[in-house]
Amino acid sequence: MKGRTTLKDVAKIAGVSIGTASMAINHNPLVNEETRKKVLEIAAELEYVPNEIARRFQAQRTNTIAVVIPHTASHVFSHPYFNGIFLGITEVLEKYGMTLNISTSPAETDEQSAYQKILQNRAADGVIVASAAATDKNAFRFAQLGYPVVFIGDFLEEGITSVGVDDYAGAFEATEHLIKVHGFSRLAHISGPLEHSSARTRLDGLLEALQAHQLELLPSDLYEGDYSQEAGYVGMKRLIALDDPPRAVFIGNDLMSVGALQALGEAGLSAPKDVAIVSFDDVHLAQLTSPPLTTVRQPIKELGHSAAEILMERLTGDVDTGSWQRTTDGQHHKFETKLVVRRSCGCTGGDS
């Protein structure tokens, strides 16, 4: 192979991750001699020319891990999902004596600036990217340049290391619960932003469950939100304003469900009497709403914990993958979800 050989090409033929290939080429002592020799031989054969920015990044440690989240600061720091992610990451970094650097970015141009700042200033030894859109090519530059990076979310691209949950199975189970247990033949959905893999995959799980029962999602019954409380409020108001409003709604996360319950209350309606609700996340708020939310539990803290541990494994060789059961497909780590039944769907008792 001649010409524009990339680090990804070298890593693929050597059978190692991009991060390991990068450390081997930069003579990082964390890489054993056999692996280093193999990578260097393949790099020479392919006439690979290392990226100079990446070389500078590897030249000096900062003892800092950067977390990049392409959303506004107000959204990130008010959202219980990100609080759980930060908690899991922080627990790991404290063990290794590392510092956490959080970078938020509200728009594409700002995202690029945030990424470039880390790349150009060598602001961190490794990067965790959380809740990026699947179309966000700026985020993937870290991996393309050979930097140690882990994505939180359902990113299955070659050369990417990711930690996520089985959004599809969780959404399928939630939908099946409303159909099989409560007998609903029509469901509405308030989704997250569909350019995000989590929202798209949850919608796919909903659609598959509907199809399995010869049902369909009406175009009027789908509202695309942004995982905020306001989006749930607006989405529910639009659904109940329909001439024939739906009686059951699967909502893409708990924070939107809080807004949806607020909209029902203002309209003199309630869950589950007028509208049954099943949600996703199982953040602490889910137990405090009235009624408590039936929701798909994902191990949010463990996602942050696992992402940080995998990143630290690449930097130090030491790893603790956490206690939740997860499956691994190469560099893609996926945790299972669990439906937690409370009262918002029409069930009584349960985990409340």
Question: Strands 126-130 and 162-165, how do they pair?
Answer: unpaired
H-assigned helices in the chain: 7-14, 18-25, 33-45, 52-59, 73-77, 80-96, 108-121, 141-144, 167-176, 197-212, 229-240, 254-266, 300-316
* pLDDT tens track for 100-119: 988 886 655 555 556 666 76
Q: For residue 286, what is the DSSP state?
A: G
Q: Choose among 168, 243, 148, 166: nearest CA to 212.
A: 168
Residue of 305 and 159 predicted with greater confidence: 305
Question: Strands 248-251 and 276-281, how do they pair?
Answer: parallel
Structure tokens at 73: 């600061």
Please tell me the distance from the alpha carbon of residue 269 to that of residue 211, in angstroms, as a whole number.
29
Q: Which residue has the tokens 């001649």?
A: 2
User: What percent of the chain clears pLDDT 90, i.e. is strictly above it?
Assistant: 53
Position 53 pLDDT exceeds 60: no
CB 189 within 8 A of CB 249: yes
The dihedral sign for the CA sequence 275, 281, 282, 286: negative
Q: What is the mean pLDDT of residues 148-169?
A: 86
Mean pLDDT over each residue of the chain, to the nearest integer: 86
Please tell me the distance from the alpha carbon of residue 26 to that of residue 48, in angstroms, as a whole number.
13
Query: Per-residue confidence at 65, pLDDT binned at 50, 70, 90?
Result: very high
* pLDDT tens track for 9-24: 888 899 987 768 877 8
Q: What is the mean pLDDT of residues 208-224?
A: 98
Residues 6+ apart with CB under 8 A from 131: 69, 70, 71, 82, 152, 153, 196, 198
Structure confidence at residue 106 (pLDDT): 62
Residue of 30 and 82 predicted with greater confidence: 82
Structure confidence at residue 47 (pLDDT): 78
User: What percent of the chain clears pLDDT 70, i.e. is strictly above it?
Assistant: 84
Query: Per-residue confidence at 46, pLDDT binned at 50, 70, 90?
Result: confident
Q: What is the mean pLDDT of residues 232-261?
A: 98
Residues 6+ apart with CB under 8 A from 16: 24, 35, 39
Structure confidence at residue 1 (pLDDT): 39
Please tell me the distance from the alpha carbon of residue 49 to that of residue 308, in angstroms, as a whole number.
30
CB 271 within 8 A of CB 246: no
Structure confidence at residue 51 (pLDDT): 57
Structure confidence at residue 329 (pLDDT): 60
Structure confidence at residue 2 (pLDDT): 44
| Continuous segment of H or E residues that includes residue 104 | strand 99-104
CB 151 within 8 A of CB 163: yes
CB 100 within 8 A of CB 38: no
The full set of domains in the chain, from first to last, is 7-50 (1.10.260.40), 58-152+300-335 (3.40.50.2300), 167-298 (3.40.50.2300)
Position 323 pLDDT exceeds 60: no
* pLDDT tens track for 66-75: 898 878 888 8
Structure confidence at residue 50 (pLDDT): 66
Q: What is the mean pLDDT of residues 129-133?
A: 81
